[in-house]
């Protein structure tokens, strides 16, 4: 193996940098908690000690607190955003067939004549107690409808992740093994080609070949309540394949880059010089340092698989959350849009937090930031 | 030639052509008499509907926000859903557009057409087993005429003053005479529900040929045959499944891969590709819907009739029909009525593209500078292309049209019926009266051309209560001429409804009333295994 520069094991991944930056923040945790006690900041002492003793728990608690604040901000932004869009629910729902009388009746029924802040606060009051209200358009319970749609979205995302994550990591490792040789190049070209095509195009291609020409795949991918698991799985085969092709390259290339980066570092070289086996070097020395960036990119792609797949849902006629939210935005169905927005935000926040925690677990160096 | 043969075969199957006529036309095609005889025999045999099977339709127009209440049905998807489970008092005849009995067996107007008495059919059962009574009918109509109602039929029902039961008959008293009242009751919102749907408007219980088994808004609806249906000439398949497919390519893929039997809204641009599939048949029906360019007659510079005339003459209608509709449509004549309406005023000269004459009127109008036209593809499919085509044809007449593309979101609120010159779409109405009352009466909510003419209003009201057909036809002719020559409407084309089906689907009725066999597609077709 080529000898690396003398720079030492520099954490190059985003997470490490981010966490380092946070620790140097003036409002952050001081390096030495006993010093804080000595200067008489008694109020924060317990928290500081807690941070010192249980850095992981403290991180999670802090992140959870932050998440709640973020969710509030998100709900406020969504609500304000809908307000700023042209037309309100009554006019957009009725569209071209809106008579002034019907518009008037809907406005009065829903209290759209009340000021925005008042409507937002009453919605918030319900949401805090877990009541997302009823959809303005369909008059169905939002929680109930979202339950179904979210279940569908998670079902699709789960299987897409189940296929794509091991495949991406595996291919990344294969690419490292055969670096700059034929298998590496083939993997790179194919995955880059797949990510370069728009999702709908990949979807249409798969439909054309597998459903229309060969007739081997199920299409459309509509799933419903009473559907047997086997039918469901067959229905989602094509959308899962599309999603895998779309997210594969990103994760694969990150895995490849991270492992290569670590493999060229000084401590791996030291391990090699000690005469350790290749397997031991990768498992004990290289892998923990390469895991953080890989986890981060996986988390990002998982979040995408849940919240970013509207186009795939439309193409394959799959009843997921994305389509639900788009329908609701189109007619300004406020309770539904708000609830969907909150759930999407919660997913991003949770997955990012999970990625950070896992990164710290994998690399103890990040646990006691200096 | 094979297209024409298919057409002839179809006509026979629909019972529209007899043996002699068929053989004559087949001979003209060069088909040997013996072959033609066999063809006729098989086509005629296919006329006998088959029962059974599971019919799947992939339809555009569903959303997660769809309502179960027929009063609030707006989408194409809900239109078919409603037709499956419910019945209206009156239906319209598929080819003539005349009112035909449904839950109302017969009706009788008073001499001035202001009081109507309907005999309600007996022995009809709702899906829950309850028998239909005149009381259910009264309650249903009351729910839709309530001032506080959110019903889509509220505008149609405005002229009904009183709804009451007289024994087992329904009596409607109107604010003024209306010879077309029965047709108004064929509106798809006015599904008769038990107790008028007052208890539970979302129950989806009706008297239709299919019972609702499941309904997931924006996803799917499934139906099962109503064994107690009061009619035997419909509901041929055992079960129906409607799948929401809002993506045009997805619909085409589903049909060509045999996953569904029928799809709606085929983009004219892709028809030729779809036609190549051997198992697929294109079903296009002439309709009353029209694509329009509307000018406000009371707003400068469009308050000048010479300018309006110049803009009308600068429209190349033939090219529009070819390019925007792919030939699936008919050219328009600047009034919103075509030959699918009863009492259509015949013999009005067709307006054609005439750059010289347009230039003459444009000069006479004294207007200079460009004319701003607002458009968006939500106005009608291909509206932006149509606007650009129009820009090109007007340029040859020396008229400079500036095309402004508006966001689709909010188009119906901010542009249509608000800005002085824009593109739009009108679905047809059951009668000429209703079409004119909706959009050309001075006081109409949707008078989107700001056509304010007391003499027109007067004529419209007179024609409404006129029971003498000849007189009425003459009045409609005068009204059409007024709109055509002085109105703010440029109507280049009437669009066909373009659907497609697998060849297994038989008995499709080309209904001039509305798209998808007037929504009755699932109740009228059968599957030939």
Segments making up each domain of chain B, as ranges: 1-45, 87-197, 208-279+503-527, 287-496
Q: Which residue of A has its CA nearest to B446?
A: A99
Q: Which of B74, B256, B445 sits opposite A99 (nearest CB)?
A: B445
Angle among Cα A162, A167, A169 to the nearest 5 degrees reads 110
Reduced 3-state DSSP string for B31-69? CCHHHHHHHHHHHHHCCCCCCCCEEEEEECCCCCCCCCC
How does residue A1 score in pLDDT terms, banded at 50, 70 and 90? very low
The Cα-based distances of B66 to A79, A136, A314, A333, B199 in angstroms read 22, 10, 17, 11, 20
Hey, how many other C-beta atoms are within 10 angstroms of the C-beta on B239?
A: 17
Mean pLDDT of A361-366: 74
B287-496 topology per CATH? Dipeptide-binding Protein; domain 3 (3.10.105)
Please tell me the predicted confidence (pLDDT) of residue A45. 79
A87 in B contact zone (CB under 8 Å)? yes
Please tell me the predicted confidence (pLDDT) of residue B287. 87
Q: Provide the chain B residues 390-409 that lie in CB contact (below 8 A) with chain A.
A: 407, 409
Second-level CATH architecture of B87-197: Alpha-Beta Complex (3.90)
Tell me the torsion sign for CA atoms A62, A65, A67, A70.
negative
User: How many angstroms separate the CA atoms of B334 and A122, rounded?
Assistant: 51
CB contact under 8 A, B413 and A94: no
> Residue B199 has which token pair?
């208890």
Q: What is the mean pLDDT of chain B?
A: 90
Q: Do you find a cis peptide bond into A220, omega within 30 degrees of 0?
A: yes
Please tell me the predicted confidence (pLDDT) of residue B32. 64
CB contact under 8 A, A102 and B64: no
Give the contacts of B205 (CB within 8 A, at least 6 positions apart): B85, B126, B127, B128, B193, B194
The torsion defined by the Cα of A218, A220, A222 and A227, in degrees rounded to 10, comes to -30
The torsion defined by the Cα of B74, B80, B84 and B86, in degrees rounded to 10, comes to 30
> Residue B38 has which token pair?
């066999």
The region of weakest confidence among A14-18, A30-34, A70-74, B232-236 is: A14-18
Its pTM stands at 0.82
CA proximity to B182, closest of B291, B108, B276, B287: B108
Per the CB < 8 A criterion, the answer to whether B237 and B526 are in contact is: yes
> Per-residue pLDDT tens for A184-230?
999 989 888 888 999 899 999 999 999 988 988 888 888 888 888 99
Per the CB < 8 A criterion, the answer to whether B190 and B89 are in contact is: yes
Q: Provide the chain B residues 143-162 that lie in CB contact (below 8 A) with chain A.
A: 147-152, 154-155
Residues of A in contact with B61 (CB under 8 A): none
Q: Which residues of chain B have pLDDT under 50?
A: 1
Please tell me the predicted confidence (pLDDT) of residue B34. 63
Per the CB < 8 A criterion, the answer to whether A15 and A296 are in contact is: yes
pLDDT higher at A286 or A98: A286
Please tell me the predicted confidence (pLDDT) of residue A11. 40
CB contact under 8 A, B64 and A138: yes
The Cα-based distances of B139 to A259, A322, B163, B194, B201 in angstroms read 73, 39, 9, 9, 12
User: How many angstroms separate the CA atoms of B127 and A57, rounded?
Assistant: 59
CA proximity to B450, closest of B333, B292, B302: B302
Please tell me the predicted confidence (pLDDT) of residue A3. 38
How does residue A85 score in pLDDT terms, banded at 50, 70 and 90? confident
Please tell me the predicted confidence (pLDDT) of residue B23. 66
Residues of A in contact with B263 (CB under 8 A): none
CB contact under 8 A, A99 and B220: no
The Cα-based distances of A135 to A74, A94, A123, A131 in angstroms read 19, 15, 12, 12
Please tell me the predicted confidence (pLDDT) of residue A260. 87
Percent of chain A with pLDDT over 70: 86
Mean pLDDT of A280-295: 82
Q: Which residue of A has its CA nearest to B216?
A: A224
How does residue A10 score in pLDDT terms, banded at 50, 70 and 90? very low
CA proximity to A197, closest of A254, A248, A252: A248
Please tell me the predicted confidence (pLDDT) of residue A279. 78
Please tell me the predicted confidence (pLDDT) of residue A367. 65
Mean pLDDT of A332-349: 89
Find the DSSP H helices in B314-410: 317-324, 355-365, 383-395
Per the CB < 8 A criterion, the answer to whether B341 and B288 are in contact is: yes
Please tell me the predicted confidence (pLDDT) of residue B12. 62
| A233 sits in which H/E element | helix A229-235
Please tell me the predicted confidence (pLDDT) of residue B11. 63
Hey, how many other C-beta atoms are within 10 angstroms of the C-beta on B225?
A: 17
Please tell me the predicted confidence (pLDDT) of residue A47. 79
Q: Which residue of A has its CA nearest to B250?
A: A315
Q: What is the ipTM of this complex?
A: 0.75
Per the CB < 8 A criterion, the answer to whether B459 and B481 are in contact is: no
pLDDT at A251 over 70: yes
Percent of chain A with pLDDT over 90: 21
> Per-residue pLDDT tens for B106-131?
999 999 999 999 999 999 999 999 99
> Residue B298 has which token pair?
């009371």
Q: Which of A98, A105, A220 sits opposite B254 (nearest CB)?
A: A220
pLDDT at A41 over 60: no
How does residue A21 score in pLDDT terms, banded at 50, 70 and 90? very low
- Torsions phi, psi for A46 (to 5 deg): -60, -50
| CATH number for region B208-279+503-527 | 3.40.190.10
User: Which one of A108, A148, A222 would you mutate to disrupt binding with B, by most B Cβ within 10 Å of its Cβ?
Assistant: A222
Q: Which of A91, A225, A327 sits opposite B65 (nearest CB)?
A: A327
Please tell me the predicted confidence (pLDDT) of residue B300. 86
Tell me the torsion sign for CA atoms A330, A332, A335, A339.
positive
Residues of A in contact with B219 (CB under 8 A): 222, 224, 319
Per the CB < 8 A criterion, the answer to whether B49 and B236 are in contact is: yes
The maximal CA–CA distance of chain A, rounded, in angstroms, is: 85
The most confident of the ranges A232-236, A284-288, B144-148 is A232-236
């Amino acid at each position: 193996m080529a000898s690396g520069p003398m720079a030492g094991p520099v954490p190059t991944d985003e997470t490490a940098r981010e966490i380092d930056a946070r620790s140097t923040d003036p409002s952050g945790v001081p390096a030495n908690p006993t010093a804080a006690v000595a200067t008489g900041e008694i109020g924060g002492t317990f928290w500081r000690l807690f941070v010192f003793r249980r850095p992981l728990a403290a991180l999670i608690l802090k992140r959870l607190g932050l998440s709640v604040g973020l969710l509030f901000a998100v709900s406020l932004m969504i609500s304000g955003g809908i307000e700023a869009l042209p037309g309100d629910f009554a006019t957009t729902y009725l569209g071209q067939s809106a008579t002034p009388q019907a518009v008037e009746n809907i406005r009065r029924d829903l209290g759209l004549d009340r000021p925005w802040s008042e409507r937002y606060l009453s919605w918030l009051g319900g949401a805090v107690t877990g009541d997302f209200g009823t959809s303005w358009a369909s008059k169905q319970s939002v929680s109930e409808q979202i339950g179904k749609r979210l279940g569908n979205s998670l079902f699709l995302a789960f299987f897409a992740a189940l296929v794509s994550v091991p495949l991406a990591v595996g291919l990344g490792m294969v690419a490292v093994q055969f670096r700059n040789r034929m298998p590496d190049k083939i993997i790179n070209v194919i995955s880059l080609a797949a990510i370069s095509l728009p999702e709908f195009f990949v979807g249409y291609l798969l439909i054309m070949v597998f459903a229309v020409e060969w007739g081997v795949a199920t299409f459309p991918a509509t799933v419903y309540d009473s559907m047997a698991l086997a039918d469901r799985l067959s229905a989602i085969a094509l959308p899962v394949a599309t999603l895998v092709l779309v997210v594969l390259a990103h994760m694969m290339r990150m895995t490849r880059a991270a492992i290569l980066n670590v493999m060229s570092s000084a401590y791996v070289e030291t391990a090699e010089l000690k005469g350790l086996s290749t397997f031991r070097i990768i498992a004990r020395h290289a892998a923990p340092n390469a895991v953080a960036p890989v986890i981060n990119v996986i988390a990002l792609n998982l979040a995408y698989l849940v919240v970013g797949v509207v186009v795939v849902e439309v193409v394959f006629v799959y009843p997921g959350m994305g389509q639900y939210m788009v329908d609701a935005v189109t007619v300004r169905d406020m309770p539904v849009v708000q609830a969907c927005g909150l759930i999407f935000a919660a997913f991003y926040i949770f997955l990012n937090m999970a990625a950070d925690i896992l990164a710290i677990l994998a690399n103890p160096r990040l646990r006691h930031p200096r | 030639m094979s297209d024409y043969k298919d057409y002839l075969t179809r006509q026979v199957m629909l019972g529209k052509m007899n043996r002699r006529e068929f053989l004559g036309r087949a001979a003209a095609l060069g088909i040997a008499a013996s072959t033609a005889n066999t063809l006729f025999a098989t086509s005629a045999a296919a006329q006998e509907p088959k029962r059974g099977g599971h019919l799947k339709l992939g339809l555009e127009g569903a959303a997660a926000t769809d309502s179960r209440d027929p009063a609030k049905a707006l989408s194409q998807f809900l239109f078919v859903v409603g037709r499956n489970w419910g019945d209206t008092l009156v239906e319209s005849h598929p080819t003539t557009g005349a009112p035909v009995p449904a839950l109302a067996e017969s009706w009788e107007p008073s001499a001035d057409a202001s009081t109507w008495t309907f005999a309600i059919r007996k022995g009809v059962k709702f899906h829950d087993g309850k028998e239909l009574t005149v009381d259910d009918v009264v309650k249903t109509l009351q729910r839709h005429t309530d001032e506080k109602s959110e019903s889509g039929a509220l505008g149609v029902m405005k002229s009904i003053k009183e709804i009451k039961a007289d024994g087992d008959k329904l009596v409607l008293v109107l604010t003024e005479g209306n010879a077309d009242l029965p047709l108004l009751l064929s509106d798809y919102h006015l599904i008769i529900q038990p107790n008028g749907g007052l208890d539970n408007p979302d129950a989806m219980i009706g008297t239709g040929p299919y019972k609702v088994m499941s309904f997931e808004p924006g996803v799917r609806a499934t139906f099962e045959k109503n064994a107690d249906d009061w009619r035997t000439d419909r509901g041929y398949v055992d079960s129906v499944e409607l799948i929401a497919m809002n993506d045009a390519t997805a619909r085409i893929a589903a049909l060509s891969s045999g996953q569904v039997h029928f799809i709606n809204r085929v983009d004219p641009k892709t028809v030729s590709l779809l036609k190549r599939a051997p198992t697929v048949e294109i079903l296009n029906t002439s309709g009353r819907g029209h694509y329009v360019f509307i000018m406000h007659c009371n707003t400068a510079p469009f308050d000048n009739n010479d300018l309006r005339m110049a803009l009308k003459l600068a429209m190349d209608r033939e090219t529009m029909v070819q390019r925007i509709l792919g030939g699936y449509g008919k050219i328009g004549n600047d009034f919103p009525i075509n030959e699918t309406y009863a009492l259509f005023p015949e013999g009005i000269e067709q307006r054609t593209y005439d750059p010289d004459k347009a230039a003459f009127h444009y000069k006479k109008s004294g207007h200079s500078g460009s004319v701003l036209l607002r458009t968006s593809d939500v106005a009608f499919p291909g509206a932006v292309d149509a606007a650009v085509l129009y820009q090109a044809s007007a340029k040859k007449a020396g008229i400079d049209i500036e095309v402004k593309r508006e966001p689709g979101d909010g188009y119906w609120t901010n542009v249509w019926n608000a800005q002085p010159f824009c593109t739009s779409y009108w679905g047809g109405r059951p009668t000429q009266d209703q079409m004119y009352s909706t959009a050309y009466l001075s006081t109409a909510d949707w008078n989107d051309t700001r056509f304010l003419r007391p003499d027109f209003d007067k004529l419209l009201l007179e024609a409404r209560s006129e029971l003498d057909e000849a007189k009425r036809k003459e009045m409609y002719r005068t009204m059409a001429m007024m709109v055509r020559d002085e109105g703010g409407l440029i109507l280049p084309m009437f669009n066909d409804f373009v659907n497609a089906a697998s060849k297994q689907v038989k008995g499709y009725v080309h209904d001039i009333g509305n798209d998808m066999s007037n929504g009755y597609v699932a109740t009228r077709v059968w599957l030939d295994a």
